Amino acid sequence: MTVQKKTPKRAPMNPQYIRPARVQEVFGIHRSTLYRWAEAEKRRAHNGNCEPRLRLYKRGAMTFVKAAELESFITSGMTA
């Protein structure tokens, strides 16, 4: 008699951090657009002496973006 392990059902994951390559499938924007927005925010924050609203995070050679930051940036109209 074989015993089968039951795998627990998991709720769909809402990732906290996502890779730029997945941004297109999650948010519908191209990864180069993400890099362009992040660079513009970095310059805006530096010139205005404030925190950037969208930032890229590095972990070794991998780059990530916070999904909540990107969603907030998109919904705010990207110009606030």
* pLDDT tens track for 9-68: 655 566 799 999 999 998 999 999 999 999 999 998 888 878 888 999 999 999 999 999
Return the pLDDT at 11: 52
Domain ranges of the chain: 17-75
The strands making up 17-18's β-sheet, listed across from edge to edge, are 17-18, 62-66, 56-59
Return the pLDDT at 33: 94
